[in-house]
Amino acid sequence: MESIFCYRNPDATTSAGSGPLRGTKVALQPTFSVAGWPTEAGSQALDGFHALEDAALVERLRAAGADLVGFTRVSEFGFGLMGNAAGKALQQEQAAAELVLDLSGEARLAAARAGSCGFKPSYGLIPRLGIVGLMPSLESCGILARKVKTIGAVLAAIAGPDERDFSLPAEPLPDLAIGGIDPRQTSIGVIAEVLQELPSDMLANLTKELAGLKKMGFSVRELSCPDFAQNRLVHRIVGSVEASSCAGRYDSVRYGKRAPGAKNWNEMYLQSRGAAFGTLLKSYLIQGAFFQFERYPVYEKACRLRGRFLKELEQLSAQADFLLLPTLAADAAGEPATLGEWYAQAAHTLCANVSGRPALHLPPIFAGQGGGFQLTGPRRGDGRLLALGDFLLNQRQGGE
């Protein structure tokens, strides 16, 4: 059986520190730089690369007393779930939490696969210094754990401003404390356009979840978001252009192996990049280059559509405190090998990446089966979203 780890920390011992994460075993993906570790991000383009310094969030994990147990296997640059072992360290009880790069829903979909909780925080909440990124405006450090309170503790340890990261918005740290939730004063919205597209079995499970929430006293409201289905198109265009731009650094001069036999620099560049990237990522980069250099107005239109969608979500937030969405799509079985298959599987998770809003996947609470669901709330409302998730998870555990 293939190991879920691509690197185990030989010095992983119970921390002697006194921080809030003392003794908490944390696994990471090799998309987060750890000094001296083979931070290869699952790609031949970074073959043999060892990080020179810790990522900002790794520094904060260490300061909080966490035990870094190692790197788990990851898909290329964290994109998709092909060959990705996210969540398995939790299943095998080798870690209490795992940090996963969430570019299009990977953290939440991996959590659904592992039967755990998966969280994508608000954009700009966690510093990006030391993250081997691919889509800067869409990705975030996701957190997997069996308990929402563990996610909250890890988030509190790694979130906050970093003067070395100029990409962070100049905003104060929001309140991340997991407080109480009063169902009678909390409204949850569901998007009519999403419900209409669900297959019967998924709709039945989601209906049971909604019925359970109503019984507990939550106000459940059906809302309309006509542009919701456009998330897939926006993410695919914007994400591929950002990926194409970011991947330009992998030229075999600074990183990765150089293809032999090239007669000039241009041949070296093309041959090395051709050998460095896998089929899924290569097709994504080609798509991004097309929109970047041949159809740039289409990219601009996607950005405008993204802005319009953000305004629609703000209007929905005025009608409901949180939104409830399925996590898994209809064809969620297996590991998608093509862009079309992956985007079909991630159809319901893309919204949080496009909008920068926090999203939390929970296992089934009232349905008893199925892939669970995800909740999303206003940007920077991470603490209250986690409070809701903790409240619901306690209901599930109390009924077991």
Question: 330, 335, 333, 320: which is closest to 384 by C-alpha?
Answer: 320
The position carrying tokens 């077991």 is 400
Q: Domain spans of the chain?
A: 5-158, 183-228+299-398, 234-297
Q: Which two tokens stand for residue 158?
A: 């790694």
How would CATH label the architecture of 5-158?
A: Alpha-Beta Complex (3.90)
Dihedrals φ, ψ of 66, to 5°? -70, 150
What is the residue-level pLDDT of the chain in tens, covering all 400 positions? 468 999 999 887 655 567 999 999 999 999 999 999 999 999 999 988 999 999 999 999 999 999 999 999 999 999 999 989 999 999 999 999 999 999 999 999 999 999 999 999 999 999 999 999 999 999 999 999 999 999 999 999 999 999 998 888 888 899 999 989 999 999 999 999 999 999 998 999 999 999 999 999 999 999 999 889 899 999 999 999 999 999 988 888 877 778 888 888 888 878 888 888 999 999 999 999 999 999 999 999 999 999 999 999 999 999 999 999 999 886 555 678 889 999 999 999 999 999 999 999 999 999 888 889 999 999 999 999 999 999 999 987 654 4
Given this model, what pLDDT does residue 399 score?
44
User: Are 24 and 153 in contact, with CB atoms under 8 Å apart?
Assistant: yes
Dihedrals φ, ψ of 117, to 5°? -100, 145
CA–CA gap between residue 170 and residue 46 (Å, rounded) = 32
CA–CA gap between residue 392 and residue 72 (Å, rounded) = 29
How would CATH label the architecture of 183-228+299-398?
A: 3-Layer(aba) Sandwich (3.40)
CA–CA gap between residue 241 and residue 260 (Å, rounded) = 29
Given this model, what pLDDT does residue 49 score?
92
The position carrying tokens 């206003």 is 378
Given this model, what pLDDT does residue 261 score?
83
The position carrying tokens 């992998």 is 250
Which residues are CB-neighbours of 140 under 8 A, at least 6 positions away? 101, 102, 120, 121, 122, 123, 125, 126, 353
∠ CA 342-347-348, nearest 5°, is: 135
Given this model, what pLDDT does residue 13 score?
63
User: Are 43 and 281 in contact, with CB atoms under 8 Å apart?
Assistant: yes
DSSP letters along 167-216, please?
TS-S-PPPP-------GGG-EEEEEHHHHHHS-HHHHHHHHHHHHHHHHH
Given this model, what pLDDT does residue 59 score?
96
CA–CA gap between residue 154 and residue 2 (Å, rounded) = 28
**What separation in angstroms does the CA of 192 have from each of 135, 224, 379?**
29, 5, 22
Given this model, what pLDDT does residue 119 score?
98
Identify any residues that bridge with 358 across adjacent strands, giving them in sequence order.
Answer: none
Given this model, what pLDDT does residue 265 score?
80
User: Are 254 and 224 in contact, with CB atoms under 8 Å apart?
Assistant: no
The position carrying tokens 């954009």 is 123
User: Are 77 and 134 in contact, with CB atoms under 8 Å apart?
Assistant: yes
**What separation in angstroms does the CA of 266 have from each of 254, 259, 289?**
15, 12, 17
Identity at 242, one-letter amino acid code: E
CA–CA gap between residue 29 and residue 25 (Å, rounded) = 14
* Distance from the first to the final alpha carbon of the chain: 32
User: Are 68 and 9 in contact, with CB atoms under 8 Å apart?
Assistant: yes
* Rg of the chain (C-alpha set): 21
